[in-house]
Amino acid sequence: MAEDFAQTGFNVDPQANGVDAGPQLGLITQYVKDLSFENPNAPAVYQWQEQPQIDVQFNIGTVSPAENVHEVSMKIEVRAVSGGNTAFALELVYAGLFAAQNVPEEMLHPFLYAEAPRLLFPFARRIVAETIRDGNFPPLLLDPIDFGALYQQQTAQAAALAGAEPAGEA
């Protein structure tokens, strides 16, 4: 197990004072996995008078590239449309690698879908704002997101849907 952490740069000595006995979580690294910015109507877009309508979409996903290592990816899509024309479109996939040792599944799932995105969000938010600003638009400062509340809401919706299914069709 310790070898897995050593390969990822997360060094833990499992023998030191029983360190491996309790749950451990840690951020190994974070990075831009994909970044795309489109300004399809430049330079005409800079003459438009109408304020664009901005649509922001989020998606959180996880994969486990190695034992006790989880990649959490936050995909953010932003599209600004004015008068039926695209002012700009941005797509960012920002990810982090997290180490988890001796963490029960019922604790790991909320961490990966609520706490890990909370830790990654400020960095992704900065990248979104700076990329849009670099496209010669006013920076878009995304509002803070309560990932814990979103996780609880989605868990409750999933439980309600599961409870609504007729017996035997699950």
Tens-digit pLDDT profile for residues 34-46: 999 999 999 999 9
∠ CA 11-111-2, nearest 5°, is 20
User: How sure is the predictor about 13, in pLDDT bands with cuts at 50, 70 and 90?
Assistant: low
pTM of the model: 0.80
Q: Has residue 18 got a pLDDT over 60?
A: no
∠ CA 84-57-80, nearest 5°, is 25
User: Rounded to a whole number, what is the distance in angstroms from the first to the last CA of the chain?
Assistant: 36
Sign of CA pseudo-dihedral 9, 14, 16, 22: positive
Q: Does 165 or 136 have the greater pLDDT score?
A: 136
What are the sequence ranges of the domains in the chain? 21-161
Backbone φ and ψ for 72, nearest 5 degrees, come out as -110, 125
Q: Has residue 80 got a pLDDT over 70?
A: yes
Distances (CA, A) of 43 to 35, 39, 46, 86: 22, 9, 6, 12
% of the chain surpassing 70 pLDDT: 84
What's the mean per-residue pLDDT of the chain?
88
Q: Has residue 22 got a pLDDT over 80?
A: yes
d(CA 83, CA 49): 10
For the domain spanning 21-161, the CATH number is 3.10.420.10
Q: Which range (3-17, 81-95, 149-163) has the least confidence?
A: 3-17
For residue 161, what pLDDT is reported? Answer: 86
